[in-house]
Amino acid sequence: MSKSGGCCKSFLHFVFDYETTKTLVVPSLAVGCFFRFTQLLVLLYAFGYVFVVQKAYQQTDSVMSTVTTKVKGFAFTNTSNMDPKFWDVADYVIPSQSVNSFFVLTNMVITPHQTQARCAELPGPSTTCVDDCDCIEGYSDPRGNGIRTGLCENYSTTARTCEVLSWCPLEIDTKLPKHPLLAAAENFTVLIKNSITYPKFNFHARNILPHINSLYLKRCQFNRTTDPDCPIFLLKHMVSEAGEEFEDMAVKGGILGIIIDWSCDLDWWAGQCSPKYSFRRLDNKNPVNNVAPGYNFRFAKYYKTPDGMETRTLIKAYGIRFDILVFGTGGKFGIVPTLVSLGAGLSFLTLVPIFADIFMLTCARKRHLYNRRKVEYLDDDAATEAVSMSTTYGTQ
Ligand SMILES: *[C@@H]1O[C@H](CO)[C@@H](O)[C@H](O)[C@H]1NC(C)=O
Ligand SMILES: *[C@@H]1O[C@H](CO)[C@@H](O)[C@H](O)[C@H]1NC(C)=O
Ligand SMILES: *[C@@H]1O[C@H](CO)[C@@H](O)[C@H](O)[C@H]1NC(C)=O
Protein backbone atom coordinates (compact mmCIF):
# COMPACT_ATOMS: atom_id res chain seq x y z
CA MET A 1 0.00 0.00 0.00
CA SER A 2 2.63 2.47 1.20
CA LYS A 3 4.73 1.54 -1.82
CA SER A 4 2.00 2.47 -4.29
CA GLY A 5 1.29 5.66 -2.33
CA GLY A 6 4.97 6.64 -2.72
CA CYS A 7 4.76 5.91 -6.41
CA CYS A 8 1.75 8.17 -6.74
CA LYS A 9 3.56 11.00 -4.94
CA SER A 10 6.66 10.71 -7.12
CA PHE A 11 4.38 10.75 -10.12
CA LEU A 12 2.84 14.04 -8.93
CA HIS A 13 6.33 15.47 -8.43
CA PHE A 14 7.28 14.24 -11.87
CA VAL A 15 4.31 16.03 -13.40
CA PHE A 16 4.29 19.28 -11.46
CA ASP A 17 7.94 19.94 -10.57
CA TYR A 18 9.64 22.32 -12.93
CA GLU A 19 12.97 21.05 -14.22
CA THR A 20 15.73 23.22 -15.58
CA THR A 21 19.17 22.34 -16.88
CA LYS A 22 22.35 23.38 -15.10
CA THR A 23 24.94 25.11 -17.25
CA LEU A 24 28.56 24.03 -17.17
CA VAL A 25 30.84 26.88 -18.25
CA VAL A 26 34.05 25.63 -19.81
CA PRO A 27 36.73 28.35 -19.84
CA SER A 28 38.66 26.83 -22.72
CA LEU A 29 39.69 28.90 -25.70
CA ALA A 30 39.93 25.83 -27.96
CA VAL A 31 36.45 24.56 -27.16
CA GLY A 32 35.04 28.09 -27.34
CA CYS A 33 36.64 28.70 -30.73
CA PHE A 34 35.42 25.36 -32.04
CA PHE A 35 31.89 26.15 -30.86
CA ARG A 36 31.80 29.61 -32.40
CA PHE A 37 33.42 28.45 -35.62
CA THR A 38 30.87 25.64 -36.06
CA GLN A 39 28.11 28.12 -35.33
CA LEU A 40 29.52 30.45 -37.96
CA LEU A 41 29.63 27.64 -40.54
CA VAL A 42 26.02 26.73 -39.83
CA LEU A 43 24.98 30.38 -40.04
CA LEU A 44 26.82 30.81 -43.33
CA TYR A 45 25.15 27.73 -44.77
CA ALA A 46 21.64 28.15 -43.42
CA PHE A 47 21.31 31.89 -43.84
CA GLY A 48 23.98 32.86 -46.32
CA TYR A 49 23.68 30.05 -48.82
CA VAL A 50 20.17 28.61 -48.38
CA PHE A 51 18.44 31.84 -47.50
CA VAL A 52 20.19 34.47 -49.58
CA VAL A 53 21.79 32.59 -52.50
CA GLN A 54 19.12 29.91 -52.99
CA LYS A 55 16.39 32.43 -52.13
CA ALA A 56 14.62 30.10 -49.72
CA TYR A 57 12.49 33.03 -48.59
CA GLN A 58 10.60 32.97 -51.89
CA GLN A 59 7.56 31.05 -52.94
CA THR A 60 7.77 29.81 -56.51
CA ASP A 61 5.51 29.25 -59.48
CA SER A 62 6.19 27.59 -62.83
CA VAL A 63 5.68 29.34 -66.09
CA MET A 64 2.64 29.08 -68.36
CA SER A 65 3.41 29.98 -71.92
CA THR A 66 2.21 30.20 -75.47
CA VAL A 67 4.30 30.46 -78.62
CA THR A 68 3.66 31.52 -82.19
CA THR A 69 6.22 31.49 -84.97
CA LYS A 70 6.62 33.13 -88.34
CA VAL A 71 9.26 31.87 -90.75
CA LYS A 72 10.47 34.10 -93.55
CA GLY A 73 12.68 33.45 -96.56
CA PHE A 74 12.65 32.40 -100.20
CA ALA A 75 14.49 29.84 -102.21
CA PHE A 76 14.88 28.90 -105.84
CA THR A 77 15.80 25.37 -106.85
CA ASN A 78 16.99 24.25 -110.25
CA THR A 79 18.21 20.68 -110.16
CA SER A 80 18.32 17.94 -112.76
CA ASN A 81 15.60 15.73 -111.24
CA MET A 82 13.01 18.49 -110.81
CA ASP A 83 11.52 21.42 -112.68
CA PRO A 84 12.89 24.81 -111.58
CA LYS A 85 10.86 25.94 -108.64
CA PHE A 86 10.44 28.97 -106.45
CA TRP A 87 9.74 28.25 -102.77
CA ASP A 88 8.09 30.43 -100.18
CA VAL A 89 6.96 29.80 -96.63
CA ALA A 90 3.71 28.07 -97.66
CA ASP A 91 5.77 25.47 -99.55
CA TYR A 92 8.44 24.59 -97.02
CA VAL A 93 6.79 25.00 -93.59
CA ILE A 94 4.68 21.87 -93.07
CA PRO A 95 2.14 21.99 -91.53
CA SER A 96 1.65 25.72 -91.56
CA GLN A 97 0.47 25.68 -87.90
CA SER A 98 1.58 23.49 -85.04
CA VAL A 99 1.90 23.80 -81.30
CA ASN A 100 5.26 24.96 -79.97
CA SER A 101 7.16 23.83 -83.03
CA PHE A 102 7.65 24.40 -86.74
CA PHE A 103 9.10 22.22 -89.45
CA VAL A 104 11.26 23.52 -92.26
CA LEU A 105 11.62 21.28 -95.30
CA THR A 106 15.24 20.98 -96.43
CA ASN A 107 15.48 17.86 -98.56
CA MET A 108 13.06 15.51 -100.25
CA VAL A 109 12.44 12.52 -102.47
CA ILE A 110 9.69 13.32 -104.97
CA THR A 111 7.67 10.65 -106.76
CA PRO A 112 5.40 12.40 -109.28
CA HIS A 113 2.39 11.11 -111.25
CA GLN A 114 1.41 8.21 -108.99
CA THR A 115 -1.87 6.53 -109.81
CA GLN A 116 -3.74 3.53 -108.42
CA ALA A 117 -2.34 0.69 -110.52
CA ARG A 118 -0.44 -2.59 -110.52
CA CYS A 119 3.33 -2.65 -110.60
CA ALA A 120 6.25 -4.89 -109.64
CA GLU A 121 7.53 -4.52 -106.07
CA LEU A 122 10.94 -3.09 -105.31
CA PRO A 123 13.47 -5.93 -105.18
CA GLY A 124 14.19 -7.21 -101.70
CA PRO A 125 14.68 -10.54 -99.89
CA SER A 126 10.94 -11.05 -99.36
CA THR A 127 9.69 -9.69 -102.69
CA THR A 128 11.76 -11.49 -105.33
CA CYS A 129 10.10 -14.44 -107.01
CA VAL A 130 10.70 -17.03 -109.68
CA ASP A 131 7.14 -17.66 -110.78
CA ASP A 132 3.57 -16.84 -109.76
CA CYS A 133 3.54 -19.59 -107.10
CA ASP A 134 5.91 -17.45 -104.93
CA CYS A 135 3.38 -14.64 -104.72
CA ILE A 136 0.29 -15.17 -102.55
CA GLU A 137 -2.71 -13.22 -103.83
CA GLY A 138 -4.14 -10.78 -101.24
CA TYR A 139 -1.10 -10.85 -98.98
CA SER A 140 0.11 -7.45 -97.83
CA ASP A 141 3.56 -7.13 -96.38
CA PRO A 142 3.65 -4.16 -93.94
CA ARG A 143 7.21 -3.44 -95.05
CA GLY A 144 6.24 -3.70 -98.70
CA ASN A 145 4.39 -1.22 -100.87
CA GLY A 146 1.00 -2.76 -101.54
CA ILE A 147 -1.32 -5.75 -101.78
CA ARG A 148 -0.03 -8.67 -103.83
CA THR A 149 -1.96 -9.65 -106.93
CA GLY A 150 -0.48 -13.14 -107.14
CA LEU A 151 1.61 -12.52 -110.24
CA CYS A 152 5.37 -12.54 -110.60
CA GLU A 153 6.56 -9.75 -112.90
CA ASN A 154 9.77 -8.43 -114.42
CA TYR A 155 11.01 -5.58 -112.27
CA SER A 156 14.06 -5.07 -114.47
CA THR A 157 15.97 -7.12 -116.99
CA THR A 158 17.65 -9.00 -114.14
CA ALA A 159 15.11 -9.08 -111.28
CA ARG A 160 11.60 -10.51 -111.00
CA THR A 161 9.36 -9.47 -108.10
CA CYS A 162 5.78 -9.96 -106.96
CA GLU A 163 3.29 -7.56 -108.48
CA VAL A 164 1.31 -5.35 -106.09
CA LEU A 165 -1.75 -3.16 -106.23
CA SER A 166 -0.52 0.21 -105.10
CA TRP A 167 0.21 3.83 -106.00
CA CYS A 168 2.46 3.31 -109.04
CA PRO A 169 5.20 4.01 -109.91
CA LEU A 170 6.58 3.09 -106.48
CA GLU A 171 8.77 5.49 -104.55
CA ILE A 172 12.50 4.76 -104.61
CA ASP A 173 13.89 6.59 -101.57
CA THR A 174 17.40 5.18 -101.62
CA LYS A 175 18.69 8.00 -103.78
CA LEU A 176 18.47 10.90 -101.34
CA PRO A 177 20.16 14.05 -102.63
CA LYS A 178 23.55 14.35 -100.93
CA HIS A 179 23.37 18.10 -101.16
CA PRO A 180 20.14 19.28 -99.50
CA LEU A 181 17.66 20.52 -102.06
CA LEU A 182 16.71 23.54 -99.97
CA ALA A 183 20.16 24.40 -98.64
CA ALA A 184 19.05 28.03 -98.87
CA ALA A 185 16.93 27.38 -95.78
CA GLU A 186 19.97 28.25 -93.72
CA ASN A 187 19.32 31.90 -94.50
CA PHE A 188 15.66 31.79 -93.47
CA THR A 189 14.66 33.60 -90.31
CA VAL A 190 11.98 32.94 -87.75
CA LEU A 191 10.19 35.39 -85.51
CA ILE A 192 9.25 33.73 -82.24
CA LYS A 193 6.53 35.40 -80.21
CA ASN A 194 6.29 34.03 -76.72
CA SER A 195 3.94 35.25 -74.00
CA ILE A 196 4.24 33.94 -70.48
CA THR A 197 2.37 34.14 -67.21
CA TYR A 198 3.18 33.31 -63.63
CA PRO A 199 -0.44 32.84 -62.53
CA LYS A 200 0.30 32.79 -58.80
CA PHE A 201 1.89 36.24 -58.93
CA ASN A 202 -0.34 37.62 -61.70
CA PHE A 203 2.80 38.43 -63.68
CA HIS A 204 2.68 38.66 -67.49
CA ALA A 205 5.51 39.19 -69.95
CA ARG A 206 6.46 38.53 -73.54
CA ASN A 207 9.74 38.09 -75.34
CA ILE A 208 9.23 41.25 -77.35
CA LEU A 209 10.43 43.35 -74.46
CA PRO A 210 9.03 46.82 -73.75
CA HIS A 211 12.14 48.59 -75.04
CA ILE A 212 11.92 46.92 -78.49
CA ASN A 213 10.22 49.18 -81.04
CA SER A 214 8.88 48.15 -84.41
CA LEU A 215 11.74 49.80 -86.27
CA TYR A 216 14.29 47.72 -84.36
CA LEU A 217 12.19 44.59 -84.85
CA LYS A 218 12.23 45.12 -88.63
CA ARG A 219 16.00 44.96 -88.91
CA CYS A 220 17.37 43.10 -85.90
CA GLN A 221 18.66 39.54 -85.73
CA PHE A 222 19.45 37.56 -82.60
CA ASN A 223 23.11 37.69 -81.67
CA ARG A 224 24.16 36.64 -78.20
CA THR A 225 26.62 39.50 -77.82
CA THR A 226 25.08 42.36 -79.78
CA ASP A 227 21.32 41.65 -79.89
CA PRO A 228 20.47 39.22 -77.09
CA ASP A 229 16.84 40.41 -76.86
CA CYS A 230 15.95 40.25 -80.56
CA PRO A 231 13.29 37.54 -81.12
CA ILE A 232 14.26 36.97 -84.79
CA PHE A 233 16.59 34.04 -85.34
CA LEU A 234 18.60 32.91 -88.33
CA LEU A 235 18.08 29.16 -88.76
CA LYS A 236 21.76 28.60 -89.51
CA HIS A 237 22.80 30.53 -86.40
CA MET A 238 20.56 28.42 -84.16
CA VAL A 239 21.88 25.17 -85.62
CA SER A 240 25.49 26.27 -85.24
CA GLU A 241 24.91 27.39 -81.64
CA ALA A 242 23.70 23.84 -81.00
CA GLY A 243 27.08 22.63 -82.27
CA GLU A 244 25.83 21.28 -85.59
CA GLU A 245 26.47 21.98 -89.26
CA PHE A 246 23.29 23.18 -90.99
CA GLU A 247 24.04 21.43 -94.26
CA ASP A 248 24.74 18.09 -92.52
CA MET A 249 21.56 18.30 -90.51
CA ALA A 250 19.53 19.36 -93.54
CA VAL A 251 20.33 16.22 -95.58
CA LYS A 252 18.58 13.68 -93.34
CA GLY A 253 16.70 16.00 -91.05
CA GLY A 254 16.71 16.37 -87.29
CA ILE A 255 15.10 18.02 -84.34
CA LEU A 256 16.47 21.16 -82.78
CA GLY A 257 15.33 22.52 -79.43
CA ILE A 258 14.94 26.25 -78.93
CA ILE A 259 15.03 26.59 -75.18
CA ILE A 260 13.61 29.74 -73.63
CA ASP A 261 14.39 30.16 -69.95
CA TRP A 262 12.14 32.59 -68.10
CA SER A 263 13.48 32.00 -64.59
CA CYS A 264 12.96 35.29 -62.80
CA ASP A 265 13.17 36.92 -59.43
CA LEU A 266 9.94 38.88 -59.26
CA ASP A 267 10.64 40.79 -56.04
CA TRP A 268 10.64 44.52 -56.45
CA TRP A 269 14.38 44.93 -55.96
CA ALA A 270 15.29 42.36 -58.63
CA GLY A 271 15.59 44.02 -62.05
CA GLN A 272 13.46 43.20 -65.05
CA CYS A 273 12.50 39.75 -66.26
CA SER A 274 13.86 38.80 -69.69
CA PRO A 275 14.16 35.44 -71.45
CA LYS A 276 17.40 33.60 -72.09
CA TYR A 277 17.69 31.60 -75.30
CA SER A 278 19.72 28.47 -75.89
CA PHE A 279 19.77 25.84 -78.61
CA ARG A 280 20.33 22.11 -78.49
CA ARG A 281 19.94 19.21 -80.88
CA LEU A 282 17.28 16.95 -79.40
CA ASP A 283 17.27 13.87 -81.64
CA ASN A 284 20.05 11.42 -81.02
CA LYS A 285 22.89 11.80 -83.45
CA ASN A 286 24.99 8.82 -82.48
CA PRO A 287 27.94 8.54 -84.85
CA VAL A 288 28.64 4.92 -83.85
CA ASN A 289 25.19 3.39 -84.27
CA ASN A 290 23.73 5.67 -86.91
CA VAL A 291 20.84 3.44 -87.96
CA ALA A 292 17.66 5.29 -88.96
CA PRO A 293 19.07 8.78 -88.43
CA GLY A 294 17.35 12.09 -88.88
CA TYR A 295 13.73 13.03 -89.22
CA ASN A 296 11.39 12.51 -92.17
CA PHE A 297 7.77 11.90 -93.02
CA ARG A 298 5.65 11.53 -96.16
CA PHE A 299 2.85 13.59 -97.55
CA ALA A 300 1.12 13.80 -100.92
CA LYS A 301 -0.52 16.37 -103.15
CA TYR A 302 -3.55 15.10 -105.04
CA TYR A 303 -4.94 16.24 -108.34
CA LYS A 304 -7.00 14.88 -111.22
CA THR A 305 -5.69 14.47 -114.74
CA PRO A 306 -7.89 15.89 -117.57
CA ASP A 307 -9.30 12.40 -118.16
CA GLY A 308 -10.46 12.17 -114.54
CA MET A 309 -7.75 9.87 -113.17
CA GLU A 310 -6.86 10.55 -109.54
CA THR A 311 -3.14 11.24 -109.40
CA ARG A 312 -0.78 12.33 -106.68
CA THR A 313 2.74 13.56 -106.11
CA LEU A 314 4.30 11.77 -103.16
CA ILE A 315 6.92 13.66 -101.19
CA LYS A 316 9.16 12.10 -98.60
CA ALA A 317 10.15 15.19 -96.66
CA TYR A 318 13.38 15.55 -94.73
CA GLY A 319 13.84 18.64 -92.63
CA ILE A 320 14.51 20.22 -89.32
CA ARG A 321 11.78 20.41 -86.75
CA PHE A 322 12.33 23.24 -84.30
CA ASP A 323 10.73 22.51 -80.92
CA ILE A 324 10.31 25.51 -78.68
CA LEU A 325 10.67 24.54 -75.04
CA VAL A 326 9.71 27.22 -72.55
CA PHE A 327 10.49 26.71 -68.91
CA GLY A 328 11.18 28.79 -65.86
CA THR A 329 10.41 29.32 -62.22
CA GLY A 330 9.32 32.63 -60.82
CA GLY A 331 10.07 33.44 -57.22
CA LYS A 332 8.61 36.08 -54.96
CA PHE A 333 8.89 36.75 -51.22
CA GLY A 334 6.50 34.63 -49.19
CA ILE A 335 5.99 34.59 -45.43
CA VAL A 336 5.49 30.80 -45.20
CA PRO A 337 8.70 29.76 -47.00
CA THR A 338 10.55 32.43 -44.99
CA LEU A 339 9.37 31.00 -41.67
CA VAL A 340 10.00 27.41 -42.79
CA SER A 341 13.57 28.10 -43.88
CA LEU A 342 14.28 30.21 -40.78
CA GLY A 343 13.05 27.31 -38.65
CA ALA A 344 15.21 24.85 -40.56
CA GLY A 345 18.24 27.11 -40.07
CA LEU A 346 17.59 27.46 -36.35
CA SER A 347 17.18 23.73 -35.91
CA PHE A 348 20.61 23.27 -37.49
CA LEU A 349 21.98 25.69 -34.88
CA THR A 350 20.74 23.47 -32.06
CA LEU A 351 22.99 20.69 -33.36
CA VAL A 352 26.11 22.78 -32.79
CA PRO A 353 26.42 22.14 -28.98
CA ILE A 354 26.36 18.39 -29.64
CA PHE A 355 29.45 18.71 -31.81
CA ALA A 356 31.07 21.08 -29.33
CA ASP A 357 30.46 18.53 -26.55
CA ILE A 358 32.00 15.75 -28.60
CA PHE A 359 35.00 17.96 -29.30
CA MET A 360 35.32 18.92 -25.63
CA LEU A 361 35.07 15.36 -24.34
CA THR A 362 37.37 13.73 -26.87
CA CYS A 363 39.86 16.27 -28.24
CA ALA A 364 40.34 19.09 -25.70
CA ARG A 365 43.56 19.11 -23.62
CA LYS A 366 41.71 18.95 -20.27
CA ARG A 367 39.18 16.42 -21.54
CA HIS A 368 39.60 14.18 -18.46
CA LEU A 369 38.63 17.03 -16.15
CA TYR A 370 35.69 17.93 -18.38
CA ASN A 371 34.64 14.32 -18.47
CA ARG A 372 34.61 14.10 -14.68
CA ARG A 373 32.55 17.26 -14.29
CA LYS A 374 30.16 16.74 -17.18
CA VAL A 375 29.57 13.02 -17.17
CA GLU A 376 28.31 11.11 -14.18
CA TYR A 377 28.49 7.32 -14.32
CA LEU A 378 25.71 5.53 -12.51
CA ASP A 379 27.24 2.41 -10.92
CA ASP A 380 25.28 0.06 -8.66
CA ASP A 381 26.06 1.81 -5.33
CA ALA A 382 25.07 5.16 -6.71
CA ALA A 383 21.86 3.63 -8.01
CA THR A 384 20.89 2.33 -4.52
CA GLU A 385 21.70 5.74 -3.06
CA ALA A 386 19.54 7.46 -5.62
CA VAL A 387 16.58 5.17 -4.88
CA SER A 388 16.84 5.70 -1.09
CA MET A 389 17.08 9.45 -1.64
CA SER A 390 13.94 9.51 -3.73
CA THR A 391 12.04 7.51 -1.02
CA THR A 392 13.09 9.94 1.72
CA TYR A 393 12.12 12.78 -0.52
CA GLY A 394 8.77 11.11 -1.12
CA THR A 395 7.93 10.57 2.58
CA GLN A 396 8.89 14.05 3.70
C1 LIG B 1 10.60 -10.87 -118.58
O2 LIG B 1 11.98 -11.12 -118.72
C3 LIG B 1 12.27 -12.33 -119.41
C4 LIG B 1 13.78 -12.54 -119.37
O5 LIG B 1 14.46 -11.38 -119.08
C6 LIG B 1 11.72 -12.22 -120.84
O7 LIG B 1 11.97 -13.39 -121.52
C8 LIG B 1 10.22 -11.95 -120.79
O9 LIG B 1 9.70 -11.76 -122.08
C10 LIG B 1 9.93 -10.75 -119.94
N11 LIG B 1 8.49 -10.63 -119.74
C12 LIG B 1 7.82 -9.49 -119.97
C13 LIG B 1 6.35 -9.55 -119.73
O14 LIG B 1 8.37 -8.50 -120.38
C1 LIG C 1 23.20 32.53 -97.22
O2 LIG C 1 23.54 33.91 -97.21
C3 LIG C 1 24.92 34.14 -97.27
C4 LIG C 1 25.14 35.64 -97.11
O5 LIG C 1 24.12 36.37 -97.69
C6 LIG C 1 25.45 33.62 -98.59
O7 LIG C 1 26.84 33.83 -98.67
C8 LIG C 1 25.17 32.12 -98.65
O9 LIG C 1 25.57 31.59 -99.90
C10 LIG C 1 23.68 31.85 -98.48
N11 LIG C 1 23.49 30.42 -98.39
C12 LIG C 1 22.85 29.71 -99.32
C13 LIG C 1 22.78 28.27 -99.15
O14 LIG C 1 22.37 30.25 -100.31
C1 LIG D 1 27.35 38.67 -83.58
O2 LIG D 1 27.88 39.97 -83.58
C3 LIG D 1 29.27 40.01 -83.57
C4 LIG D 1 29.68 41.47 -83.47
O5 LIG D 1 29.04 42.25 -84.43
C6 LIG D 1 29.82 39.35 -84.84
O7 LIG D 1 31.23 39.35 -84.79
C8 LIG D 1 29.33 37.92 -84.88
O9 LIG D 1 29.74 37.30 -86.08
C10 LIG D 1 27.81 37.88 -84.79
N11 LIG D 1 27.39 36.51 -84.73
C12 LIG D 1 26.56 35.98 -85.61
C13 LIG D 1 26.26 34.56 -85.44
O14 LIG D 1 26.09 36.61 -86.50
Ligand 3 atom showing the smallest separation from residue 223 Cα: 1
Domain boundaries, the chain: 18-57+335-395, 62-121+170-332
Average predicted confidence (pLDDT) for the chain: 88
Ligand 2 atom showing the smallest separation from residue 75 Cα: 14
Distance (angstroms) between ligand 3 centre and the Cα of 243 equals 16
Ligand 2 atom showing the smallest separation from residue 183 Cα: 13
Between helices 352-362 and 29-43, what is the axis angle to 10°? 150
CA nearest ligand 1 atom 13, residue: 154
Q: Encode pLDDT of 53-105 as tens digits.
A: 888 899 999 999 999 999 999 999 988 777 888 999 999 998 888 899 999 99
pTM attached to this predicted model: 0.80
Distance (angstroms) between ligand 3 centre and the Cα of 237 equals 10
Distance (angstroms) between ligand 3 centre and the Cα of 214 equals 22
CA nearest ligand 3 atom 10, residue: 223
Distance (angstroms) between ligand 2 centre and the Cα of 185 equals 9
Kindly report the number of other CB atoms within 10 A of residue 185's CB atom.
24
Q: What is the DSSP-derived secondary structure letter of residue 142?
A: T
**Strand runs labelled E in the chain:** 58-62, 64-72, 75-77, 85-87, 101-120, 147-154, 160-168, 189-198, 203-206, 232-234, 254-261, 264-265, 276-281, 296-304, 310-327, 329-333
Pairing type for strands 203-206 and 189-198 reads antiparallel
| Ligand 1 within 6 A of CB of 157 | yes
Q: Encode pLDDT of 325-334 as tens digits.
A: 999 999 999 9
Ligand 1 atom showing the smallest separation from residue 158 Cα: 5
Q: For ligand 3, which residues put their CB under 6 angstroms from it?
A: 223, 225-226, 237
Of 270 and 101, which is predicted with more confidence? Answer: 101
Please answer whether residues 231 and 191 qualify as being in contact, where contact means their C-beta atoms are separated by less than 8 angstroms. yes
Q: Encode pLDDT of 153-178 as tens digits.
A: 999 898 899 999 999 999 998 888 88
Distance (angstroms) between ligand 2 centre and the Cα of 179 equals 15
Query: CATH assignment of 62-121+170-332?
Result: 2.60.490.10
| Ligand 1 within 6 A of CB of 226 | no
- What average pLDDT does the segment 193-220 reach? 90
